[in-house]
A and B are shown apart, each in its own frame.
Chain A
Amino acid sequence: MSVKVEVIEGGVPHNKIMIAGLVSTLVCIYLTYLNAYTNTEMFSFFGGLAVVAALIWGSHTIKVLCSYGIGTGVPSAGMIAFGSGTIAMLLATKYGMMAPIVALVLAAIIGYILGYVSNNILNMKIPAMVQALTEMAVVGALTVMGFAALISGGFTFAGLTTSTASFMGLPITSYANSFIGGGLIAVAFLLGAIAIQHPFNACLGPGWKQDRMLMLTAECGFLSMIVAAVMSFALISAGSALISLIIAIIGWAYTYSQYFEMSKRDAAAWLDSKPIPDVEGH
């Protein structure tokens, strides 16, 4: 039997964050589909916004789960989220336009079964376990899909495994120069896994405040988005990648300064120490 160690005092209820996170993630991922309609790659940055939205939802789910003291450390939750999520995401990319929905359903099934396995077979008996693992698998799947859309401009299996390069004027299909074939998916995997587990790991304790943790999550998300936007220069046009990069940097600067403000607000006493003054007279 387990006892809940921390309680949520005030703040937005978890279900509200879950629904808001899910809807905004799906909408943002689908907005990258404008690329296909307008035949540009300008809308790839919506993938990065989807990543940030999914991470905010996911880090709050980790807070709900890890409040019970699972005894394995907070990072393990991020690892299982992305482990199960990536598996679902890779299969879902085969379904073209339906990919985000398929990823959602498939990840939920995988997460539910893993939740049952850990709660019953492994005898964890944590009330929030099944729901939390289900949610985290979905977050993992949608985050990797958001990174895929940000870096390569699409989320279909064909788009993620091939790219067209020009060789002496003739278009040739390249498989190595792609999101999956080039191994960029591994970087996306760990960028997301670190960003999802860090905020609660850093903010937990008696002084935990919901808005401060979620702001840190957004900051981590935009920081990951900066790295992913830099990687996207390899696969999409430079102008589109630049748009993603600028949005990521603006988002990061804003969330970082906000997080800094909140940390000052929650600190017991904030003393702005000046440089050591020059003492005159000796």
Chain B
Amino acid sequence: MSAVAAKPTAGGAMNPTAMAVGVVMLIVILGACWYVSPTLGLTALIGIIIGGVLIGFGTHFVPVGGAPAAMGQAPGIATGVAMLAAGAGLAGLFGGAWAAEQGMVIAVVTGGIGGGMMMAITCMMVNFVYVFGMGIPAASGKVLNDPITGDSQAEYKSQGTEGHGLPFVSFVGGVIGGILGGAGGTLIYLELLSLYEATFPTLMSATTAQIMPVAVAVAGMFAVAMFLVNAVLTAYNITGTIEGPHDPKFKRWPRAIVASAVASALCGFVAILIVAM
């Protein structure tokens, strides 16, 4: 096989053995966490895993075009998965962190809305640039009709391209992805923050008010780091570009769920060990 003909990396196939190993790893980490910190730590870890899975699943919705999209030869936003997921997720995380005092539900919803807003603005401006700057219509290359509006796509697609611009379904996918990513990032942050608020005062023998800067910084740093790990693993899963929820690559999400769960459990366990040991 020549280097040109070779498709980069992963196919759509699942690897059942590796998936089973992943689930076993997940259970082992959960067990280890129960051993070192049965109540506080385990609750936090379960929240972190849910947050990580939300990030991993949400990233599949985001229309990522990469370099071909920058040249108007593929649909999507013209940058990489990791950049887009980080942009949307961190916007959501900052939004949610502001609302952390208001309780779990409000903060997570705020984080989701922050991420969704970020993606909505990005998708909007991307289409502005495509339509008014580059003079190309939005057309999907993967489906004949837009699954939501039912609009026909093939007439608008230029020959020799895989579609271009940002069709309506990709826009909606981007917003859903932003909401899930932002909510997941905020959930990780909140779980770690409440854990550190409860344990740092005894660990560092200081009052809660004194250790707040440290607790916020450590929780925020762990949340950002876990967000990036999950986003990059999902980027590896979809190998570069995806059009949105109607793309055939979207069907690969079960792999990303297992991968994100294992990665978040591992990173979350390390984050819990900082106070449990």
Contacts and interface: CB of A to CB of B under 8 A. Distances in A.
B233 A173 contact: no
B221 A176 contact: no
A209 interface: no
Interface stretch (A51-59, A65-73, A273-281): A65-73
Contact of B66 (A73, A77, A88, A189): A73
A88 B15 CA distance: 28
Given A122-B256, A185-B221, A73 B213 contact: no
Interface residues of A, number: 53
A47 B265 CA distance: 31
A75 B80 contact: yes
Interface string A56-90: 00000000000011111101110110111011101
Nearest to A69: B8
Contacts of B217: 180-183, 185-186
Given A72-B240, A76-B81, A175-B210, A124 B228 contact: no
B270 A72 contact: no
B221 A123 contact: no
B3 A72 contact: no
A123 B15 contact: yes
A1 B2 CA distance: 12
A4 B4 CA distance: 10
A119 to B, nearest CB: 8
B163 to A, nearest CB: 18
Interface residues of B, number: 62
B254 to A, nearest CB: 10
Contacts of B214: 161, 175, 178, 180-181
Given A87-B226, A175-B206, A72 B267 contact: no
The listed residue with most A CB atoms (<10 A of its CB), out of B25, B212, B221, B227, is: B221
A110 B210 contact: no
A70 B80 contact: no
B255 interface: yes
B144 interface: no
Interface of B: 1-3, 6, 8-11, 13-15, 17-19, 21-22, 25, 66, 80-83, 86, 204, 206, 210-214, 217-218, 220-222, 224-229, 231-233, 235-237, 239-240, 255-256, 258-259, 262-263, 266-267, 270-271, 273-274, 277
